[in-house]
Structure 1
Amino acid sequence: MKRLLTLLLLVCLGTLHAQEWQESYASALDRANTTDKPIVLVFSGSDWCAPCIRLKKKILDSEEFKVYATENYVLYNADFPRKKQNQLPEDKSGVNKTLAEKYNPKGYFPLVVVLDKNESVLGETGFNPRLTPEKYISLLNKFIK
């Protein structure tokens, strides 16, 4: 019984600090408008792009980024997986392609674009393996201020 309660407590605490990646770009845009937070739009190839995988592992999945992002950003991942088992639903794939045409026409991966609530580009960056999560947050914040 104690193990069950401990496990339940850990799950609840984990969800409190989990960053919230929006399921759709429309929900990300809506959330940005209601919270007045910038959108961090990440273009990635989750199952084929090595720098994308390293960005996720080193920066986006770090505890520092998760905690900060929860309070300060609206997150959306425009993913372009290649493996058949990882394919996105057609509607989400279509939205991601439209976003790429508008914000990533050269097809850079990974590309992180910071947008304001009006969808204006504030800045963009990629992955630099020398940056820590704290320095990456600082870089993103330079675009906002």
Structure 2
Amino acid sequence: MKKIFITIFFFAISFAVEAQELVWETNVNKALEVSNKTKKPLLLFFTGSDWCGWCIRLQKEVLKTPEFAKWAKENVVLVELDYPRRTPQSAEIKKQNNELQQAFGIQGFPTIFFARGTTKDGKINFQGIGNTGYVAGGPTAWLAVADGILKK
């Protein structure tokens, strides 16, 4: 009985660890390097992490689940572009995020953009693949939408 409990415990922990292993890059240049090396598109998560209710809900219901973690590791390079009201950010990150908000025409949060990028003459050129936001139905529903976008 003790062995069964220990086995179940370690199995449950492995799912929790898998979800925590995700790396959300905040520097788009670093993320682009990884994207070009791995040939995976960028998943750009435009969020108001400390004030946007739908962003917080998307995080809880989808982005912090084991299903999403497994999918993300196989399919995308994660980039968080945050627009917090209370959490401090460096001037460099604020500038980068504001420029990307303008470039992608982001008007509401949460918005997730899938894109590929190339760098030419020190400037990044993005090729949009598609976008989504909050999708009701948990990770299965959200991942079905994301897979549809990536298959275009």
Fold shared per TM-score above 0.5:
yes
Question: Residue type of the partner of 2:65?
Answer: S
* 1:14-93 → structure 2 map (5 Å cutoff): 14=17, 18-83=21-86, 86-93=87-94
Give the structure with higher Rg (CA).
Answer: 2
In 1, distance between residues paired with 2:29 and 2:19? 23
Please state how far the C-alpha of 1:70 moved relative to its aligned partner.
Answer: 1.5
Secondary structure of the corresponding residue to residue 69 of structure 2: helix
In 2, distance between residues paired with 1:101 and 1:33? 23
In 1, distance between residues paired with 2:19 and 2:83? 28
Indicate the residue corresponding to 1:6 in structure 2: none
In 2, distance between residues paired with 1:55 and 1:24? 22
Change (3 A) 1:111 1:29: same
Query: What number of residue pairs does the alignment pair up?
Result: 133
- Unaligned segments of structure 2, at least 5 residues: 1-12, 119-125
Percent identity of paired positions between Structure 1 and Structure 2: 30
Question: Residue type of the partner of 1:140?
Answer: A
- Unaligned segments of structure 1, at least 5 residues: 1-9
In 2, distance between residues paired with 1:15 and 1:62? 9
Question: Alpha carbon RMSD of aligned pairs, Å?
Answer: 2.3
* 1:1-20 → structure 2 map (5 Å cutoff): 14=17, 18-20=21-23
In 2, distance between residues paired with 1:15 and 1:135? 20
In 1, distance between residues paired with 2:32 and 2:68? 20
Secondary structure of the corresponding residue to residue 27 of structure 1: helix
1:108 aligns with 2:108: yes
Secondary structure of the corresponding residue to residue 44 of structure 2: strand
TM-score between the two structures when normalised by the length of structure 1: 0.82
Indicate the residue corresponding to 1:133 in structure 2: 139
